[in-house]
Amino acid sequence: MTRNELLAPAAIVLTVVAVLLFGPYAVSVDGYPQWITRGTTVADLVTQHRVRAFPGDLHDVAGGLIMPREGGPQLVTVNGSAASSGTVIRFGAVVVSERGRDSVEPTVAVTVETTPTLQFRGHGPVESLEASGTPGITKVVRGAVSGIVLERVVVTPAVPVTVRREPAWPGRKRVALTFDDGPWPGQTERVVAELKDAGARATFFMVGYLATRNAGIARDVAAAGMEIGAHSQSHKLLKHASPAVIRSEISEGIASVRRATGRRPVFYRPAGGSVNAYVFLEAKRENVRVVIWTVDPRDWSRPGTRAIARRVLDNIRPGSVVLMHDGGGNRSQTIAALKLVLHGLKARGYEMVTLSQLYSPPPAKP
Ligand SMILES: [Zn+2]
């Protein structure tokens, strides 16, 4: 025998011993034999997808399914005992997996500032801030994944913004006609001409960007003895707008009208009558009084000249504030109705004045 012939059997024996000591060996995983390498753990079996069961599902805080198989990990037993992810699988082990437990998303708690609510006192179309109120603080607990709100706890209640509504100075047959959404070339001039013919004055709530664009008309309206009011910069509805948008709509609207006419408005009418607490806080800051209306003939819906006139004349009372439109679309019906309205009001003994006249002298405090 040569030296090599002696070494060959020894190499075979060593290899067999090495395989027995360090090589892969058989275990049972979920009823199937599998070869695993020494040192394989429960976590390895799971990540190598060698167990049959899946993780549990992830649910939202309301019990709905958010993500399947993103819940708790598979429950694994080794030789009948619960195993952890780091448990090493020994030779001949019996591994059984079970579906993991469903889990619920984590929750997060945040504190949010709540918009002050609005509270009105009194009656009348002119609305002035009486008390500023304060925002409230609310703790909100919600699902970190779904955002579903689980709980709301008021930490500090909001103090409502209080707005005082005022009627016109009583006892005189005076009304204020108001025209919104101009200046509108070809229409505003005709409204002013009708008013002048009747010896009437009125108030024009101008949209800021239109006053800038039609500054010549805006100036003529003011020069004709009409009162100029502000109607926001771009006619955005403000009820759900952010405080920053509310501030710019009101302040830019006032500035635009002032630049165009040379007069600073003292009345502000929110576009669409759409308000929230911040609108009144901002109006106070800008030193304008908020004014809505008491008579709305819905002239913008073009119900017909006679319908517009009848709706005004049937509802008019001393101190009325009448809402009409010289801009925002075709207002030929409004302009035609205005002649009937002015005639009818005169026949009933009314004087048509500006809002400042109607509210001057100021009403006594209740
Ligand atoms: Zn409007």
Q: Where along the chain do its domains lie? A: 3-104, 107-164, 167-358
Burial class for 232, CB neighbours closer than 10 Å (0-12, 13-18, 19+): buried
In CATH, what class is 167-358?
A: alpha beta
Mean pLDDT of all residues in 338-351: 97
The CA distance from 241 to 310, in Å, is 36
> For 166-201, how does the pLDDT look when each residue is reduced to its tens digit (9 = 90+)?
998 777 899 999 999 999 999 999 999 999 999 999
Question: How many angstroms does the Cα of residue 271 sit away from the middle of ligand 1?
Answer: 5
Q: How far is CA 12 from CA 7, 18, 38, in A?
A: 9, 10, 21
Q: 8 alpha carbon to ligand 1 midpoint, in Å?
A: 102
Distance CA 126, CA 288 (A): 11
Question: Which band of pLDDT confidence, cut at 50, 70 and 90, is reported for residue 365?
Answer: low
Distances (CA, A) of 193 to 182, 187, 201, 262: 15, 10, 11, 21
Distance CA 21, CA 37 (A): 11
CATH for 107-164? 2.20.230.10
Whether 303 shows a pLDDT value over 90: the answer reads yes
Going from the Cα of 234 to the center of ligand 1, the distance in angstroms, rounded, reads 10
Distance 173 CA to ligand 1 centre (A): 27
Which residue intervals of the chain are DSSP H helices? Answer: 3-22, 42-47, 188-197, 208-213, 215-223, 243-261, 277-285, 305-315, 332-347, 355-358
- Give the SS3 label for residue 338: helix
* Intra-chain end-to-end CA distance of the chain, in Å: 128
Query: Could you give the residue numbers annotated as active site?
Result: 180, 325
The CATH architecture of the domain made up of 3-104 is Roll (3.10)
Confidence (pLDDT) at 266: 97
Tens of pLDDT along 69-86?
999 999 999 999 999 999
Q: What is the mean pLDDT of residues 227-248?
A: 96
Residue 1 has what pLDDT? 60
Mean pLDDT of the chain: 93
Using the mean position of ligand 1's atoms as its centre, give its distance from the Cα of residue 324 in Å.
Answer: 9
Angle at 227 between CA 121 and CA 219, to 5 degrees: 145
Give residue 35 CA to ligand 1 midpoint distance, Å.
79
